C-alpha cells in the first residue's frame, strides 16, 4: 500500500468517517504547506503524552504534572453521595451543561448491544465496581443510570441493575423527558435537567 493510501486507511479508522471523507482528509493533509503536517504531528504527540484517563471516572483529562484525577473528581464541593453513570465523555459534557447534577460521574466507555455474550467487556465493569467500593467509604448512596433511551441503552441499564443489586445502593434512571430513541449526547440542557429532576 502506498503511503497516501495508508493515510486514507488511518482516517477511515476515525469514528463516523467514511471512505470519501477519509480521502478528502488525506488529500487535505498532503497538499497543505509543510508546517501544517509538522504541527499536526507535534499536536498529536503532545496530546497523546499529556491527556489520559482520570483514575476515578475514566474520562479524558489533562495529566500534565502527573495529576491523576480530573477537575470534577478532585473537586471537594462535588457530592460523593451520587454517582452518575454515562456511556461516554461527551454525555458528561451535556449533563454538566444542564447544571442540575452536583455529584460525581463514571464513564462506562460504551453500551451493551442486545444479545452480547460478554457484556462485562463492553463497559468498564471492573473499574466501576472498584470505584463503587471506594465511594461507599465516602458516603455513596445512589447510582443514577443516565443512558440513552435506545435499545442498547436500556439493555445496559438492565445489566447494570443486575450487577449492582444487593450492594445497599439506590438505583435510579433518568426520568421522563428523554424520549424513546434519544441519545444523551444530543439532548438539550433543559431536557436533561428535567430528566434528572424526575429520576425514577
Shortest Cβ 160–Zn ion spacing (Å): 19
What's the chain look like in SS3?
CCHHHHHHHHHHCCCCCCHHHHHHHHHHHHHCCHHHHHHHHHHHHHHHHHEEECCCCCCEEECHHHCCCCHHHHCCCCCCCEEEEECCHHHHHHHHHHCCCCCEEEECCCCCCCCCCCHHHCCCHHHHHHHHHHHHCCCCCEEEECCCCCHHHHHHHHHHHHHHCCCCCEEEECCCCCCCCCCHHHCCHHHHHHHHHCCC
Interface segment toward Zn ion; rule CB under 5 A; list 63-71, 124-132, 151-159, 180-188: 63-71
Closer to Zn ion at the Cβ: 56 or 183?
Answer: 56
Least Cβ distance, residue 72 to Zn ion (angstroms): 5
73 makes contact with Zn ion (CB under 5 A): yes
Q: With binding defined as CB under 5 A, does residue 56 bind Zn ion?
A: yes
Interface with Zn ion, residue 85, by CB under 5 A: no
CB of 14 to Zn ion, least distance (A): 25
* Residue 174 touches Zn ion, criterion: CB under 5 A: no
Q: Which of 8, 22, 26, 57 binds Zn ion (CB under 5 A)?
A: 57
Binding site for Zn ion (CB under 5 A): 54, 56-57, 70, 73
Amino acid at each position: 500500500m502506498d503511503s497516501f493510501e495508508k493515510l486514507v486507511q488511518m482516517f477511515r479508522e476515525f469514528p463516523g468517517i467514511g471512505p470519501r471523507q477519509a480521502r478528502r482528509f488525506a488529500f487535505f493533509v498532503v497538499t497543505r504547506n509543510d508546517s501544517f503536517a509538522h504541527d499536526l504531528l507535534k499536536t498529536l504527540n503532545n496530546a497523546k503524552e499529556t491527556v489520559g484517563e482520570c483514575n476515578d471516572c475514566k474520562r479524558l483529562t489533562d495529566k500534565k504534572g502527573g495529576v491523576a484525577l480530573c477537575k470534577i473528581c478532585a473537586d471537594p464541593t462535588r457530592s460523593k453521595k451520587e454517582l452518575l453513570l454515562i456511556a461516554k465523555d461527551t454525555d458528561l459534557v451535556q449533563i454538566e451543561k444542564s447544571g442540575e447534577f452536583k455529584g460525581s460521574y463514571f464513564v462506562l466507555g460504551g453500551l451493551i448491544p442486545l444479545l452480547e455474550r460478554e457484556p462485562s467487556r463492553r463497559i468498564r465493569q471492573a473499574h466501576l465496581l472498584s470505584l463503587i467500593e471506594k465511594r461507599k467509604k465516602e458516603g455513596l448512596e445512589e447510582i443514577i443510570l443516565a443512558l440513552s433511551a435506545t435499545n442498547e441503552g436500556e439493555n445496559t441499564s438492565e445489566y447494570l441493575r443486575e450487577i449492582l443489586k444487593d450492594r445497599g445502593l439506590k438505583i435510579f434512571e433518568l426520568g421522563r423527558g428523554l424520549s424513546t430513541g434519544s441519545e444523551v449526547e444530543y439532548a438539550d440542557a433543559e431536557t436533561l435537567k428535567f430528566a434528572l429532576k424526575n429520576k425514577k
